[in-house]
Structure 1
Amino acid sequence: MSVLSEDKESANAGAHGRKPAIQVVCLGSGGGPCEDNVTGFLLRSIATEWARNSLLAVDAGSHLAPITRILEEHFPLTYNGKPKASEAPEATVLKSGPFAGLKFPDRSARANAMHLLRSYISAYLITHPHLDHLAGFAINTAAFHATSRPKTVAALPNTVEAMKRHIFNDVIWPNLTDEDGGVGFVTFQRLKEGGDAMVGEGEGRGYIDVCDGLGVRAFKVSHGVCTKSPPAHQHRGSGAGITDASPTYNTSAQAFALESSASSTHRSLSTSHHFHTAHQSPHAMPLDGACVVDSTAFFIRDDQTSRELLFFGDVEPDTLSLSPRNQIVWTEAARKIANGLLGAILIECSYDDSQADAFLFGHMNPRHLITELQNLAALAEEAKIHRQMEEKGAKKRKRSAPANGLLLPEHDRKRSRSMSQVDAVRSGPLSPKSSSTPRRCETGIGVNLGEDMPLRGIQVIIIHVKDTLKDGPHVSENILSQLKDYEARLQEQGQGLGCEFIIARSGESYWV
């Protein structure tokens, strides 16, 4: 067995020196228009140590091609030699790169990429059925014929239905699924929105296993509006501002929902018993018959350590949405931050701030992303204060909150950031021509510096950047610069977030 080594080694370290639990490999980081670099990631629990079927693909707009490209750094693209019949190919263990430690049996990048696809990737977690998130997967299904079991597609039911109806329909692509008389290369795992209340316990309650070592909970988020209103097209999203009459998640998932508080000062950390309670943006009233495109945010949890990351599909800011749903996700994320469980957020920022709101098309740019993160920061501070108060021994207060919920105590206290001001942040984003700092949340406890920053230790990994294909700096450089500028201004005002902004790049690894 041979070992390949390079001077460039993987930065195998978690955020802030913490031992990592999850490896994230970026296959595609863009949102188009080039088809060779669109959203696609591989995740694994480090505890599985490269066991077979231990890799989870999260979206697969670009998939097998970038895996091959990464392996070309270690192997020739093709191998034309003919080994003797008595000789088995010598296995190679990589010492660097995203697949360091993995044993490859073949001599070419192409053959080893196919080996990884067939033997190690067991499931595909799909956020929504747009082509830039599943085109690679659909085309790569031609390679699934030699696998020992079907590949699993895990997604919310609306995404599964769209893939069945519009992709694997024997018109656009052969029906290679195991449903409706298909070939059987692909099987579907329909996730319950918010998680399954009957699965797991404690912090793992509701998480559904999709891959060895990794469990997920799925939340719907909004990604713009349909260009045609029902019934002009097959329904592909949620009605604006309307609670689903028949929620796809287990009805007992209300055990996860944060209980509504009578006090308006507690409303930011509470939702109704259903995750789809309408929360209208102040300036975005629903149009009659408007259809909001659904996407998904996934909390992905390492079984061994309980560490988590949050992965967003395409998503728009709540301030512009006809069906704002990010606050629900942020509320859950805030509790995980307070408990030291959440290490990274992968979220899109498709455009820089030169893109006007009218032309965001259900996406983010820096001014809106920073406002969303301010909302998360405010919620995280609330959750941390709540946790500190519990640890200080308010034992007389009997709590009936579910294991996966957060019930605030009914008492008067100073808030670190008033949610009425957070609502003000959400009520109106910056003008695209404005260079002023986004509206901020005030604090009643002084300057927020260093270790006190609410998102300290969180990696915010930017994905789905849309390439302008113009000369000059890449748009991702503008996005990163603008995000850092906003953070610098917030820190000057004692309102720093404390997170680390990273632009995802194909071929890189991130450790959570």
Structure 2
Amino acid sequence: MHCYFWSFLLALLVALPARGQRTEPPAFTVVPLGVKGGIEEGNLSAYMVAPVGSSSYVCLDAGSLRQGIENAVRNKVFSVPADTVLRSYIKAYLVSHAHLDHVAGLLLNAPDDAPKDIYGLANCLTTIQNDYFNWRAWPNFGDGGNPPALRKYRFRELVPQQAVPLESTRLSVQTFVLSHAKPYQSAAFLLKSQDSYLLYLGDTGADELEQAHNLRAVWQAVRPLVKAHQLRAIFMEASYPNAQPSTQLFGHLTPALLMQEMNTLALLAGPDALRGLPVVVTHLKPTASNEQTIKKQLAEANKLQLKLIFPVQGQRLEF
């Protein structure tokens, strides 16, 4: 009888959710419009995010827009036409950095878009305005620069560490500077909806290789949210397999470097706090061998028992 009792108790404990796994209702809806780190022009970094139940989204980066939206419509994520999603559902863009694989969709769809805000760090907005919206590379859809300014988009500069509300949404954002092949800057966005958070990191190199402390500053900032189980997900890149030489990473991460950074966060927040935490792996360089190797290496290195998610264009996620 004693043996049966302990067997029953062990089975019950196994069935219980591990500490750190979430049982509360989802707080965020995420629609990936593009998930790759290059080559596939119609599937580049872009993620629509809104509080669950809202149709007022922000778009985190905008490498690809229309193809992702059309895939989402086909998948019945949206019940309205793609043009309505582009013009009305996306209320603003948050651009981590101005590399083409993060802004091409925004540029190409600008003629058909509705007026809205583009949020970003100062150097990112300056690049978009001066190098793209300049009447040489593309018409000036911005609100400054070479005249005439068409004022389709209003540039909203984000100050690092400062939390600001995102107009026409129920979200706010806090921005952190990242190093993407030093000295080039990228950004991380910490989105808040009520008492829940979602962390999106643009392209970034590891602190160790970038000789910076930018990622550690992000981990310090989110540590209390992880400990309180308020951080619903981390979006973070793994562009190359571990065999990629460090001199040819160009400010990107490998599975080993991603897990190294997660271990830094675990040291700050406690390893149990990370168990079951969703980590959405972004920006994989799309060759079949690369992707399979990256996924295998991440799975093998996942000692923290993170919930690894590989997003698919046009398929909704909830956190």
TM > 0.5: yes
Bigger share in helix? 2
Is the contact made by 2:143 and 2:151 (CA closer than 8 Å) also made in structure 1? yes
Unpaired runs of 5+ residues, structure 1, are 1-14, 74-96, 105-111, 196-205, 226-291, 382-451, 491-496
Is the contact made by 2:31 and 2:72 (CA closer than 8 Å) also made in structure 1? no
> 1:98 corresponds to which letter in structure 2?
V
Is the contact made by 1:56 and 1:211 (CA closer than 8 Å) also made in structure 2? no
Cα distance, 1:130 vs structure 2: 0.3
Cα distance, 1:511 vs structure 2: 1.1
Question: What CA distance in whole angstroms lies between the structure 2 residues aligned with 1:319 and 1:458?
Answer: 24
> 2:247 corresponds to which letter in structure 1?
A
Question: What CA distance in whole angstroms lies between the structure 2 residues aligned with 1:476 and 1:346?
Answer: 17
Is the contact made by 1:47 and 1:213 (CA closer than 8 Å) also made in structure 2? no
Task: Establish whether residue 510 from structure 1 lines up as the match of residue 308 from structure 2.
Answer: no
Cα distance, 1:359 vs structure 2: 1.1
Is the contact made by 1:21 and 1:511 (CA closer than 8 Å) also made in structure 2? yes
| 1:33 aligned to which of 32, 39, 44 | 39
| 2:266 aligned to which of 371, 377, 380 | 377
Residue 483 (structure 1) aligns with:
298
Query: Aligned runs of 1:102-501 on 2, under 5 Å?
Result: 102=79, 104=80, 112-144=81-113, 147=114, 150-180=115-145, 181-195=148-162, 206-225=163-182, 292-302=183-193, 305-381=194-270, 453-468=272-287, 473-487=288-302, 490=303, 497-501=304-308
Change (3 A) 1:210 1:369: farther
Residue 49 (structure 2) aligns with:
43
Cα distance, 1:62 vs structure 2: 0.5
Q: Which protein, 1 or 2, shows the higher relative CO under an 8 Å CA cutoff with sep ≥ 6?
A: 2
Q: State how many pairs are aligned.
A: 297
SS in 2 for 1:188: strand
Deviates more, 1:292-301 or 1:314-323: 314-323
List per-residue Cα deviations over 1:232-275 (Å, max 9, x = no partner): xxxxxxxxxxxxxxxxxxxxxxxxxxxxxxxxxxxxxxxxxxxx
Question: What CA distance in whole angstroms lies between the structure 1 residues aligned with 2:174 and 2:126?
Answer: 19
Is the contact made by 1:349 and 1:364 (CA closer than 8 Å) also made in structure 2? yes
> 1:294 corresponds to which letter in structure 2?
Q
Cα distance, 1:510 vs structure 2: 1.6
Is the contact made by 1:480 and 1:502 (CA closer than 8 Å) also made in structure 2? no
SS in 1 for 2:210: coil
Question: What CA distance in whole angstroms lies between the structure 1 residues aligned with 2:251 and 2:106?
Answer: 23
SS in 2 for 1:20: coil
Question: What CA distance in whole angstroms lies between the structure 2 residues aligned with 1:504 and 1:474?
Answer: 18
Question: What CA distance in whole angstroms lies between the structure 2 residues aligned with 1:510 and 1:463?
Answer: 14
List per-residue Cα deviations over 1:126-174 (Å, max 9, x = no partner): 0000000000001100102xx4xx2110111111111111110111011
Question: What CA distance in whole angstroms lies between the structure 2 residues aligned with 1:476 and 1:299?
Answer: 27
Task: Quote the sequence identity (%).
Answer: 31
SS in 2 for 1:454: helix
SS in 2 for 1:134: helix
Question: What CA distance in whole angstroms lies between the structure 2 residues aligned with 1:211 and 1:479?
Answer: 38
Change (3 A) 1:69 1:481: same
Cα distance, 1:118 vs structure 2: 1.2
Question: What CA distance in whole angstroms lies between the structure 2 residues aligned with 1:324 and 1:477?
Answer: 30
List per-residue Cα deviations over 1:296-330 (Å, max 9, x = no partner): 0110111xx32111000000001101333110001
SS in 2 for 1:136: helix
Question: What CA distance in whole angstroms lies between the structure 2 residues aligned with 1:478 and 1:509?
Answer: 25
Is the contact made by 2:190 and 2:200 (CA closer than 8 Å) also made in structure 1? yes
> 2:100 corresponds to which letter in structure 1?
L
Unpaired runs of 5+ residues, structure 2, are 1-20
> 1:218 corresponds to which letter in structure 2?
T
Question: What CA distance in whole angstroms lies between the structure 2 residues aligned with 1:306 and 1:114?
Answer: 32
SS in 2 for 1:41: strand
SS in 1 for 2:127: helix
Question: What CA distance in whole angstroms lies between the structure 1 residues aligned with 2:43 and 2:256?
Answer: 25
Cα distance, 1:72 vs structure 2: 3.5
